[in-house]
Structure 1
């Protein structure tokens, strides 16, 4: 399954919508897109991601550290149950900013 990524600005936030499986084969697509994404306030909408492996998890953690460490904000929204479970099992729900919806993440 190909990974589709698109961005739009909403109320001062860059919302990056991702669709498809996020794994070792597709992480470079999202990584490249995030590198080109302007702004210091980013929300990654994962509602279209039914599966994520540890390479996707590592990418999300890296961007969290990069933006939050530089005074920006990195949030994730609309995680499907299987993806949310990965964050729970690794206890990253305690560290990262995970929101039920993009609207919640951008307020």
Structure 2
């Protein structure tokens, strides 16, 4: 399955809407999109992501570190499907990353 990524501005936030499977084959699509955005406040909407492997997990963790851990900005995830949320629970990243039930919650 292909991965589709589109961005939209919401105030001073960039919302990145991702649809498809986020795996080793498709992670460059999201990576390139994130690299090209000048925004330092990013919400990644994963409502349309039906599968994510550790490559996708690694990418979002890297962006969390780039923005949040360094104090350069903010990075949040929103609307994870149950199977994707399970990956974050199993790796105990639910305690590390900012994960929200919806984009509106993430922006609040």
Q: Same fold (TM over 0.5)?
A: yes
What is the TM-score when the length of structure 2 is the normalising length? 0.97
* Structure 1 unaligned residues grouped into runs of 5+: none
Number of residue pairs matched by the alignment: 107
Which residue number in structure 1 is paired with residue 26 of structure 2?
A: 26
Deviation, 1:17, is 0.1
Higher strand share: 2
Pair 1:49 & 2:49 matched: yes
Cα RMSD between the aligned structures?
0.6
Runs of 4 or more, structure 1, over 6 Å off, are none
* Structure 2 unaligned residues grouped into runs of 5+: none
Which residue number in structure 1 is paired with residue 103 of structure 2?
A: 102
Deviation, 1:38, is 1.8
CA contact (8 A) 1:5 1:18 kept: yes
What is the TM-score when the length of structure 1 is the normalising length? 0.98
